[in-house]
Amino acid sequence: MERQQLVLTIEKALSEVLERPVSGLTEETALFDELQLTSLAVLGMLMSVEEANGISVDPEGLDIDDLRTLGSFADYVEAAIRKEEIRKGEIHKEEGTS
């Protein structure tokens, strides 16, 4: 997934959990300060992003720095997508060796 598409996916997730339209966000947008996310909203955003990207995020594996800005969260999601792609690749390798 391209970076801009990922940012739009996160924007959509934020609109859903905040129950109001959010658009035109930049990677520097502070999630807690500017959007006033609550911990419950963060969990909802995580679930929406997981579903949209076919990944699994361990909330306990998140650091506050991962949620500081839209860009830092996008970095975290990109890393999770890469890990999932690697995991799927390893599964296919194992299936081919049996």
Structure tokens at 8: 């739009």
Distance (Å, rounded) from C-alpha 95 to C-alpha 98? 6
Per DSSP, helices labelled H in the chain are 3-18, 39-53, 70-97
- 91 CB neighbour count, 10 Å cutoff: 10
As beta bridge partners, residue 30 has 69
Q: How confident is the model at residue 61 (pLDDT cuts 50, 70, 90)?
A: confident
* Domains recognised in the chain with CATH numbers: 3-97 (1.10.1200.10)
Residue-wise pLDDT for 65-94, tens only, equals 999 999 999 999 999 999 888 888 855 555
Question: pTM (2 decimals)?
Answer: 0.84
Angle 65-63-31 (CA atoms, 0-180°, nearest 5)? Answer: 50
